[in-house]
Structure 1
Amino acid sequence: MNIPNRKVALACATAALAVTALAGCSSSDDADTSSAAKTLEIVYWNYGPAAESGNKATADAFMAAHSDVKVSLTPVTGENWGTYYANVATLIASGKHPDLMVISGEGAQFVHANNLVQPINAYVEKDPEAKTLVADIAKGLIDGFTVKGDIVTLTYGWNDMVVYYNTDVFKKAGLEPPSADWTWDDFKATAKKLTADTNGDGKPDQYGFTWASNEIFPGIMPWVANAGGNLTSDDVCTATADTPQVNKAVTFLKDLITEGIAPAPMPMSDVFTRFQNGQVAMFGAGRWPIATFLPAGFKAFDIQLYPKGDTYKTVFGGAGYPILKSSGNPDLAWEYQKFTVSDEIEKQYVGTPDKPGDSIPSRRSVAETISKVGVPPANSDLFYHSIDKYPTLVPYPAPAKYSTFESTVLRHLQQIFASETSVSDGLKNMQGELSGIVTC
């Protein structure tokens, strides 16, 4: 590594490791090109053992197919995606030069706004194999990782938000499964019928619905989107947290708590437990819950679209390996990114009934095999069907300062749902804080 570039990186790191300084610290000109041309370094969010094993499996498969390439994996900690992105930015500012990083949909805006990523438009246009792969991926998945015309990455796996329902609880209540055309009123009436005081103490101990308190994505966003709103403007430059549409969605959820149909929102891990125990009849998530449910022997569930509000939009999130400008081997990094959507890797996300994948394969031809190999739920074709049939929420509200954005939104929602403030006042206060966070 040459000394001048090392000094530049350290200077940026010393300046509070500010993300806003990264545009001047992470250009491809700074990359260390003295190392062997057949090495790749990939950073990923180390959220647990599954993160390590999943990324290692992909890296091992790539090295098996490219025996002259060495792939090294660098785990990066973070409480959520937002703090992980900030920590990767710090890593790069300190002088590291990874070739690729794992991001979710929220990260596309971050890496683009902070000049960390090398768009892949030119690769897609010139690579015949890439054109074939892209043609097999839903347009919404490409658009979701495109910022200002730049394709940030191909997504190898994704999740859209659907409603999970406990089929045993529905049967016990004498209710038919929900239909795809249900409305918010239908949903509320169903959730009310599923709420019960089973032990006779005068308080509900079985609730019709709940949602995650520690994430925006499977929490309020499906409701906000189907009310016709978003938390940011389309260019992700302005906060829109106190619009009538957002107010309508949050009020609907708050009323579920007030009327005893839903408990206070809780961490997703607790949602899983209560759902399996029959204490919660419905909740919202992507495909990842089945990776917990099926190995535990729990199969009494199915899925349906979120109920339609003033509109219907598919709220989804995906993951990909964008090529970083710090890479000394961008062409090799492109081969790796392309490999992540190959048949070999995509089929891993299908899984088996005993060991299911936790994401939906991005390629339609592979995703359509999920139901054919018998992986629950019965309505699994709905996952890809929703993004093919309905417009998507693009962009997902993911400003460059996503970590601060997410924590601010969750803090104000907690106050609203705990009745510490009214919906209107809470959203007004949220908007006031976000106005200084969501900027361009």
Structure 2
Amino acid sequence: MKRTAALLSLLATLTAATVTAGCADTAEQTADPVSLLVAGTPDELAAYRALAAAYEQATPGARVTLIEASTAKDLMTKVSTSIAGNSPPDLFLINYRNYGQFAVKGALAPVTARLAASASLHEQDFYPQAMGAFRWQGEQMCLPQNISSLAVYYNRTLFKQYEVAEPAAGWHWNDLVATAQALTRDAGGRTVRAGEPETAGTPVAVHGLGIAPELIRMAPLIWSNGGDIVDDPNAPTRLTLDTPQAREVMQDFLELPRIGVVPSDVEVEAQDYEARFAAGKLAMFVSSRRVTTAFRAITGFEWDVAPLPQYRAPANILHSDAYCMTRTSANQDAAWRFLEYALSDPGATLMAKTGRTVPSRISVATSAAFLSPGTPPGRSQIFLDTIPALRPVPTIATWPEIEDATGKVLENAFFHGDPLDKVIRDLDAATRTVFERGAASR
């Protein structure tokens, strides 16, 4: 509650400043409310409420109705049911990995022509990696709000306490593992190593690493090692995790529980990775920019971010959300005016100052609004330095099903030690027909 109250106070200040800097000369608009569906934590939803309020104050006569979902899954359900019931929101904010199922059904209104005619938004204002992820059959289907990547959040206080070198640019996967081993400690601060008789059975108080056993966590490591996760990124028909490059990464990844540097499934069920890091029980945690807002409420220790480790070359995975307009919306002109404001310098600045996003708008991403000198993470520039190495996963209608199917197999293998050959066979078996349906839908 304290964190949310503090953020609301901050956003109130930002809203006032944004309105002053914003569209004071905008002509009066219609009173038809623009409906916007978003998902997030209480902190994130507070940010969208502030954005809506800033737009209303800067645009005489405009109104925004915010439809809130608690999780991305809840948002997907709301979008699907509202489109099926012919009562969709005017706009919704969605990750590029999930929007294909709506694009293939013709449920979205392309914004190509509107963007070309806009006096305030231009394609070159945005990072091309994020823009490209929302192109569908030659049309710019949605406009990206953010462009994130994976980073290693680390407890800087623990690194200093145990005299472990902080992560540096270009560090290898093996460096990450060695660092995690050095920081896996018992309640007395002693190193705990799996397989060593002297520490056998010793309860771990701090694990060195937290990383979810998911395909989207493995993908950038496989790319870094010269492999790929699918046979054709543009028109995939199967996973390609049986190559030497992919097998090496998967073996290393699935070995983490066996060397004792990550929490068990029981421990993660009791307290998830994000909460464990905030409580000082994880030395490192791999995640996107999304967790920054919550972590800024940490007072018990100092933290920062480091680049994702690599194998042969830098690589990372694109995380990007965009505003999509629904085709059957009767309020598209008003929705576009809100979108122009939300992605303008004032609107993007307001969202950037919450810490939640890496702005897709280049001018804001490279400003103090995002880099936030004096506010953690101190190394926010890392997110911008990573952008040239970003790659998207395939944009197909069935990609969310691919992630669900692979997630179940990988979680079981990660925590219960299935042999690698079996894991690869199970992943292929779980996804073949899903890929076939995805190919047919395009």
The bucket for the TM-score relative to the shorter chain is: 0.7 to 0.9
Give the structure 2 partner of residue 60 of structure 1. Answer: 53
Q: Given the superposition, is the C-alpha separation of residues 76 and 273 from structure 1 closer, same or farther in structure 2, using an over 3 Å criterion?
A: closer
Following superposition, the deviation at residue 180 of structure 1 comes to 0.5
Give the structure 2 partner of residue 283 of structure 1. Answer: 285
CA–CA separation in structure 1 for the residues paired with 2:99 and 2:326: 12
User: 1:360-382 deviations in whole A, cap 9, x for unaligned?
Assistant: 12222222313354221221111
1:367-386 equivalences under 5 Å are 367-368=365-366, 369=368, 370-386=370-386
CA–CA separation in structure 2 for the residues paired with 1:58 and 1:170: 38
User: 1:296-345 deviations in whole A, cap 9, x for unaligned?
Assistant: 32451121111112332231212221111111232332222221111222
Matched pairs, number = 391
1:197-346 equivalences under 5 Å are 197-199=186-188, 202=200, 203=202, 204-212=204-212, 217=216, 219-227=217-225, 228-230=227-229, 233-240=232-239, 242-244=241-243, 245-264=245-264, 266=268, 270-346=272-348
Instruction: In structure 2, list runs of 5 or more residues that go unmatched.
Output: 1-29, 191-198
CA–CA separation in structure 1 for the residues paired with 2:170 and 2:222: 18
Output the amino acid matched with 1:229: D
Identity of aligned residues (%): 22
Say if 2:121 and 2:344, in contact at 8 Å, map to a contact too. no
Query: Do structure 1's residue 409 and structure 2's residue 406 form an aligned pair?
Result: yes
CA–CA separation in structure 2 for the residues paired with 1:230 and 1:322: 27
1:137-148 equivalences under 5 Å are 137-148=126-137
Say if 1:304 and 1:379, in contact at 8 Å, map to a contact too. yes
Give SS of 1:360's match.
coil
CA–CA separation in structure 2 for the residues paired with 1:264 and 1:148: 43
Give the structure 2 partner of residue 11 of structure 1. Answer: none
Instruction: In structure 1, list runs of 5 or more residues that go unmatched.
Output: 1-35
Following superposition, the deviation at residue 275 of structure 1 comes to 2.3
Output the amino acid matched with 1:40: V
CA–CA separation in structure 2 for the residues paired with 1:91 and 1:164: 37
CA–CA separation in structure 2 for the residues paired with 1:221 and 1:107: 17
CA–CA separation in structure 1 for the residues paired with 2:96 and 2:308: 20
Give SS of 1:130's match.
coil
**Which residue of 148, 158, 161 maps to 2:147?**
158
Following superposition, the deviation at residue 416 of structure 1 comes to 0.5
Give the structure 2 partner of residue 350 of structure 1. Answer: 352
Following superposition, the deviation at residue 211 of structure 1 comes to 0.9
CA–CA separation in structure 2 for the residues paired with 1:308 and 1:220: 11
Q: Given the superposition, is the C-alpha separation of residues 92 and 76 from structure 1 closer, same or farther in structure 2, using an over 3 Å criterion?
A: farther
Say if 1:231 and 1:246, in contact at 8 Å, map to a contact too. no
CA–CA separation in structure 2 for the residues paired with 1:294 and 1:75: 23
Give the structure 2 partner of residue 363 of structure 1. Answer: 361
**Which residue of 171, 175, 178 maps to 2:160?**
171
Query: Do structure 1's residue 127 and structure 2's residue 118 form an aligned pair?
Result: yes
User: 1:23-70 deviations in whole A, cap 9, x for unaligned?
Assistant: xxxxxxxxxxxxx8844222233x443454333222222222232233
Give the structure 2 partner of residue 112 of structure 1. Answer: 103
Say if 2:229 and 2:241, in contact at 8 Å, map to a contact too. no
Following superposition, the deviation at residue 103 of structure 1 comes to 0.7
CA–CA separation in structure 1 for the residues paired with 2:54 and 2:249: 44
Q: Given the superposition, is the C-alpha separation of residues 242 and 428 from structure 1 closer, same or farther in structure 2, using an over 3 Å criterion?
A: farther
CA–CA separation in structure 1 for the residues paired with 2:115 and 2:270: 37
Give the structure 1 partner of residue 193 of structure 2. Answer: none
Say if 2:44 and 2:356, in contact at 8 Å, map to a contact too. no
Give SS of 2:319's match.
strand
Say if 1:191 and 1:207, in contact at 8 Å, map to a contact too. yes
CA–CA separation in structure 1 for the residues paired with 2:371 and 2:82: 41
Say if 1:98 and 1:326, in contact at 8 Å, map to a contact too. no
Output the amino acid matched with 1:410: G
